[in-house]
């Protein structure tokens, strides 16, 4: 099981001001905008990203961090084997990812995901 990237997930309060800050002031590019979640990335460094959301449209809570892995099913199984609390079950989302939410030992909600074949 390998990690491909780690992205902080921050709560979005003001869509327009946030978009302007991260694009115009910081210089990031808007990589994804689903209305309730926006991901910004560096034009020069693929791994430099940040996600802002105001209420996950499909899950019961907002995650605090997203970790993209190479084997999401394997990580899901390892979490189940250890009895970690699954907050949102392994699900294929319509925007091209397979993901689940788990609480880590520090009570942090982690969105563990992988792009579906042919996506991302």
Is the pLDDT at 1 greater than 70, yes or no?
no
Which H or E run contains 19? helix 15-20
pLDDT at 95: 87
CB under 8 Å to 106, separation ≥6 — which residues?
Answer: none
pLDDT band for position 6 (50/70/90)? confident
pTM: 0.82
Phi first, then psi: give them for residue 108, nearest 5 degrees.
-85, 130
pLDDT at 8: 81
Phi-psi label, residue 33: left if phi above 0, alpha if psi -120 to 50, beta otherwise = beta
> Tens digits of per-residue pLDDT, 26-66?
999 999 888 888 889 998 987 788 888 887 778 888 899 99
Please name each of the domains of the chain with its CATH number. 3-115 (3.10.180.10)
């Amino acid at each position: 099981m390998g990690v491909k990237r780690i992205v902080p997930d921050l709560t979005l309060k003001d869509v327009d001001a946030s978009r302007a800050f991260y694009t115009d002031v910081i210089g990031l590019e808007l990589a994804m905008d689903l209305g309730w979640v926006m991901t910004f990335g560096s034009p020069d460094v693929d791994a430099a990203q940040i996600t802002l959301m105001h209420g996950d449209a499909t899950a019961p809570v907002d995650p605090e961090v997203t970790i993209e892995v190479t084997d999401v099913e394997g990580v899901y199984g390892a979490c189940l084997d250890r009895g970690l609390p699954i907050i949102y079950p392994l699900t294929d989302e319509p925007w091209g990812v397979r993901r689940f939410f788990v609480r880590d030992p520090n009570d942090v909600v982690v969105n563990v995901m992988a792009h579906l074949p042919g996506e991302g």
